[in-house]
């Protein structure tokens, strides 16, 4: 009887020890406790993108006007019309300007005859040299007045300086206009399309000619056009305190109009090696310092301090603090503590 009770005690003890060992994971085979996603750390040369907005315009836009005043006699084009080089666009009433040319021509002809007559008389020593010089001076004045009158006559009409499109018409028929009053705004086809924008002093120092730019037009949602920085302003605007830049648009088959609103994303050529990680990888952050969790070979997570280069809409650029090729916890990082064991997989 004593032997039977002893055996029961031994078996009971063994059973309790076996259950205790089954409940506790061994150090050699730890059980995963958290399911997370990870991202590999790769340092590549990158630059913080500069976002700006601007308006689409033709590179070569000209304001066309008459040099003289007078009533508008003819308007041969309207806004939106395509025109050819040398095409007549508008004309003033020519009656007054033609009369001025005729008057100047008559005065020139008379001065020329007088000059020739005084030359002949001077050769015969009938008149002094001073009379001849006065006649020649009057001839030069008359010649200059004739040139002015013909020049004004030439610019009493407006001719297209090159192939292009009429963007705006600012005159009406029979309207009395003044000299140099804008009649048309015209874009020349050979100029191409550009976007002018203003950026802050912090951004202008990172922008250089040739920087690649992604362009989105409000008129064409979802379409991304290409361009590059063609001009960088050297002085800030006195009112806005922004620096003007110019983006040259690459060739496109889209139908474009001057004034389209444009959204710009400029990739600066000034770059530095950074690791781009999902924003979910950041556990805590303060200024340019942050903490992330890395995963070692034993699937154990360790917290690391990192330096932030910049933030993007859905990513963070890490300047230092992580080793190349290491793995950082992304989704699920906010639920972890230093030393936790994880399992890597896709979270639902």
Of the three residues 267, 298, 321, the one that is the final residue of a domain is: 267
Of the three residues 241, 267, 293, the one that is the final residue of a domain is: 267
Answer yes or no: is 224 within a domain.
yes
Answer yes or no: is 82 within a domain.
no
Domain shared by 208 and 232, yes or no: yes
pLDDT of residue 158: 95
Domain shared by 253 and 278, yes or no: no
Of the three residues 215, 240, 267, the one that is the final residue of a domain is: 267
Q: How many domains does the chain have?
A: 3
Domain shared by 278 and 292, yes or no: yes
CATH of the domain at 125: 1.10.287.470
Q: Which residues pair with 302 in a beta bridge?
A: 294
Domain coverage including residue 282: 34-45+272-344
Domain shared by 286 and 224, yes or no: no
Answer yes or no: is 184 within a domain.
no
Total number of residues shown for the chain: 348
CATH of the domain at 295: 2.40.420.20
pLDDT of residue 6: 43
Answer yes or no: is 229 within a domain.
yes
- The torsion region of residue 316 among left (phi > 0), alpha (psi -120 to 50) and beta comes to beta
Domain shared by 106 and 119, yes or no: yes
Answer yes or no: is 166 within a domain.
no
pLDDT of residue 32: 54
Per-residue pLDDT of the chain (348 residues; tens, 9 = 90+): 444 444 344 444 434 444 444 444 444 555 556 888 999 999 999 888 899 999 998 888 889 999 999 999 999 999 989 999 999 999 999 999 999 999 999 999 999 999 999 999 989 888 898 998 999 999 999 999 999 999 999 999 999 999 988 989 999 999 999 999 999 999 887 778 999 999 999 899 999 999 999 999 999 998 999 999 999 999 998 898 999 999 999 988 888 888 899 999 999 988 889 999 999 999 988 888 999 999 998 899 999 999 999 888 788 999 999 999 999 999 888 888 888 898 887 655
CATH of the domain at 217: 2.40.30.170
Domain shared by 251 and 302, yes or no: no
Answer yes or no: is 67 within a domain.
no
Domain shared by 194 and 261, yes or no: yes
Cα Rg, the chain, nearest whole Å: 41
Answer yes or no: is 1 within a domain.
no
pLDDT of residue 19: 47
Answer yes or no: is 130 within a domain.
yes
pTM of the model: 0.59
Measured torsion, CA atoms of residues 301, 304, 309, 315, in degrees rounded to the nearest 10: 20
Q: Are 36 and 294 in contact (CB under 8 A)?
A: no
């Amino acid at each position: 009887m004593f032997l039977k009770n002893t055996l029961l005690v031994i078996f009971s003890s063994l059973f309790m020890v076996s259950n205790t060992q089954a409940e506790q994971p061994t150090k050699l085979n730890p059980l995963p406790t958290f399911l997370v996603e990870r991202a590999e750390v790769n340092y590549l040369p990158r630059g913080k993108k500069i976002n700006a907005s601007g308006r689409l315009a033709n590179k070569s836009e000209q304001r066309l006007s008459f040099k003289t005043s007078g009533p508008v006699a003819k308007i041969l084009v309207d806004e939106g019309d395509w025109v050819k080089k040398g095409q007549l666009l508008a004309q003033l009433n020519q009656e007054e300007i033609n009369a001025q040319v005729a008057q100047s021509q008559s005065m020139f002809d008379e001065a020329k005859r007088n000059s020739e007559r005084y030359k002949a008389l001077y050769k015969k020593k009938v008149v002094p040299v001073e009379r001849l010089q006065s006649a020649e001076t009057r001839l030069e004045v008359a010649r200059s007045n004739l040139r002015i009158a013909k020049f004004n006559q030439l610019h009493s009409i407006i001719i297209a300086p090159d192939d292009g499109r009429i963007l705006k018409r600012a005159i009406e028929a029979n309207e009395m206009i003044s000299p140099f009053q804008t009649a048309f705004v015209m874009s020349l086809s050979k100029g191409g399309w550009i976007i002018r924008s203003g950026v802050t002093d912090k951004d202008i120092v990172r922008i250089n000619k040739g920087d690649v730019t992604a362009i989105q037009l409000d008129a064409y949602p979802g379409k991304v056009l290409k361009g590059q920085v063609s001009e960088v302003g050297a002085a800030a605007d006195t009112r806005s305190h922004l620096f003007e830049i110019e983006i040259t648009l690459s060739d496109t088959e889209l139908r474009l109009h001057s004034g389209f609103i444009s959204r710009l994303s400029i990739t600066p050529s000034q770059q530095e090696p950074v690791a781009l990680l999902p924003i979910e990888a950041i556990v805590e952050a303060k200024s340019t310092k942050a903490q992330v969790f890395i995963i070692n070979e034993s699937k154990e997570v360790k917290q690391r301090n990192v330096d932030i280069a910049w933030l993007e809409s859905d990513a963070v650029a890490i300047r230092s603090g992580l080793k190349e090729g290491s793995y950082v916890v992304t989704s699920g990082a906010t639920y972890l503590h230093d030393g936790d064991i994880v399992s890597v997989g896709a979270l639902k």
